Structure 1
Amino acid sequence: MSGKITCYLDVVSPYSYFALLHLERHREALKSHNVEIDIVPVFLGGIMGASGNKPPWMLPAKAKYSTFDSSRAKKYFGVHNFKTPSFFPILSLLPQRALIFIKAQHPQFFIPTFLDFYKEMWENGIDLSKSELLTNVLSKSFTEPQIREIFEKASSPDWKKKLNDNTDEALSHGAFGCPWFWVKNAVGDEEPFFGSDRFHNIWEYLGLPWKDVELLPKERSKI
């Protein structure tokens, strides 16, 4: 078996956090089936605007449902300290551009940094759109000169364009939100998947062995 999962994520999306955690937990199993994972930072605001989609807080019924759904999701994915920060939503351009540069120049730190960004924002309430707070998070893995370079590149036209290009690529694959997946299977067919609760569909599309959710019968009392 072989295939590729391209996953488009933005730190501003809580369900993208859940999706990245789930993919990383299954990375070795996917590797054993020769399935490649490519994590691509995008700008969710651009995707929402271009696709005509609206965030939950702009649709009252969707916002009401989200309170139940996020509670269930954080339990399922094991993010027990998850909470929506008071400053949400943020303009995620700076952290997303920084991630693109880190992926290109420091690939070994890309996934750990992405996970750090999610954890600091969604569990510790750190506003990553503020450069001084973002600097503190980056200091876990990078030296001061490296952090200066990350900020310099994240503000340069070339890396701003790269974020735009990534976002346009997701849109070309039909994206209207995050996490968005573009999946290629062993015969070269490709399909989109949306959300952090479609992994069983992805595994099936890739032809991978997987177990469905099983409802267990009530245990009978032992006499």
Structure 2
Amino acid sequence: MGGKIDCYLDIASLYSYLAFLELQKNRDLLASHNVQVEYHPILLGGISALSGNPPPWTLRAKARYLTHDARRSVARQGPPSPPISFPADLMQRGMTVAPMRCLLYIKQHHPAEVFESALHYLFHLFWSPPNADLTRLESVAGALGEVPRGFEGAGTGSGTGVREGEGREKLLFTEAEVREIVEGASEEEIKIGLKGVTQEALGKGAFGAPWLWVVDERTGRGEPFFGSDRFHFVYEFLGLPYTNVMLLPASDEKAKL
């Protein structure tokens, strides 16, 4: 048993957020089965354009359905605190070139746990009221400057979770590191790199996010999986023990009703 899950995601994708929360929740269990998880920042807009798959909310019928599906999906995952809310101008806020470049820079220059805390915090800001606008590098810099160490999402409100009077040692990045990240995100190497990772996902069949590429160590074979609710298929593919969805018989009380 063993393998790897490569998860390609964009903070503008709600289902990427839900997949991230699911994978983080099961990270230790997956590790106990020798399954590694790696997150890859991509541009969902690039995936949509280059795969010929327009955003679902641009089709009226899909947009109507998504209001139901998103509510159900969040409820199934267990809503983060504060609860998820949709930006009123999702199309505009979804221009996430700046934050995704910053995240790629962080991934390349900081330990994995730092990258994952930053990724989690930007997801949190994007999808929690008042839904931060992260389309500009200056706003991303402000967000990165307030990421609490070991951020896990619960009970932080829309602020940092760092109480007044506490020093910057409670924060994930120093002011100098934030400047370095923002400057690094503007470098040609990172711009090309983000396009390259997006192209890598497309090469693995991506038409949306989250896109999972899963490799089974036993056979060396890889397969794609799409969405935040396909983990039973992932576990089946990897040969992991899991409990499937099962309809239970009615209790005596319910049967009488």
Query: In the alignment, which residue of structure 2 is the partner of 1:159?
Result: 190
Query: In the alignment, which residue of structure 1 is the partner of 2:101?
Result: 97
Equivalent position amino acid for 2:198 in 1: T
* Percentage of pairs with the same residue: 45
Gaps of 5+ in 2: 148-171
Alignment of 1:58-73 (within 5 A): 58-73=58-73
Query: In the alignment, which residue of structure 2 is the partner of 1:134?
Result: 140
The TM-score normalised by the length of structure 2 is 0.84
Instruction: State which drifts further: 25-34 or 78-87.
Output: 78-87
- How far apart are 1:39 and its partner, in Å? 0.6
Candidates 87, 106, 126, aligned match of 1:121:
126
Equivalent position amino acid for 1:203 in 2: Y
1:183–1:190 Cα contact (<8 Å) kept = yes
Distance in 1 (alpha carbons) for counterparts of 2:67 and 2:22? 21
Query: In the alignment, which residue of structure 2 is the partner of 1:50?
Result: 50
The TM-score normalised by the length of structure 1 is 0.96
Equivalent position amino acid for 1:60 in 2: R
1:60-85 deviation line (CA, Å, top 9, x unaligned): 11111000000101111112511111
Query: In the alignment, which residue of structure 1 is the partner of 2:166?
Result: none
Distance in 2 (alpha carbons) for counterparts of 1:135 and 1:100? 14
Distance in 2 (alpha carbons) for counterparts of 1:61 and 1:54? 13
Query: In the alignment, which residue of structure 1 is the partner of 2:164?
Result: none
Query: In the alignment, which residue of structure 2 is the partner of 1:187?
Result: 219
Distance in 2 (alpha carbons) for counterparts of 1:151 and 1:79? 31
Distance in 2 (alpha carbons) for counterparts of 1:174 and 1:221? 49
Query: In the alignment, which residue of structure 1 is the partner of 2:228?
Result: 196
1:87–1:127 Cα contact (<8 Å) kept = no
Query: In the alignment, which residue of structure 2 is the partner of 1:168?
Result: 199
- How far apart are 1:87 and its partner, in Å? 2.8
- How far apart are 1:182 and its partner, in Å? 0.6
- How far apart are 1:129 and its partner, in Å? 1.2
1:112 aligns with 2:117: yes
Distance in 2 (alpha carbons) for counterparts of 1:135 and 1:56? 30
SS of structure 2 residue aligned to 1:40: strand
Distance in 1 (alpha carbons) for counterparts of 2:208 and 2:238? 22
SS of structure 2 residue aligned to 1:221: helix
Gaps of 5+ in 1: none
SS of structure 2 residue aligned to 1:142: coil
Query: In the alignment, which residue of structure 2 is the partner of 1:216?
Result: 248
Distance in 2 (alpha carbons) for counterparts of 1:122 and 1:221? 41
- How far apart are 1:134 and its partner, in Å? 1.8
1:27-70 deviation line (CA, Å, top 9, x unaligned): 11110110111110011111111100011121111111000000
- How far apart are 1:2 and its partner, in Å? 1.1
Q: CA RMSD in A?
A: 1.3
Distance in 2 (alpha carbons) for counterparts of 1:132 and 1:20? 25
Distance in 2 (alpha carbons) for counterparts of 1:120 and 1:79? 14
1:9–1:40 Cα contact (<8 Å) kept = yes
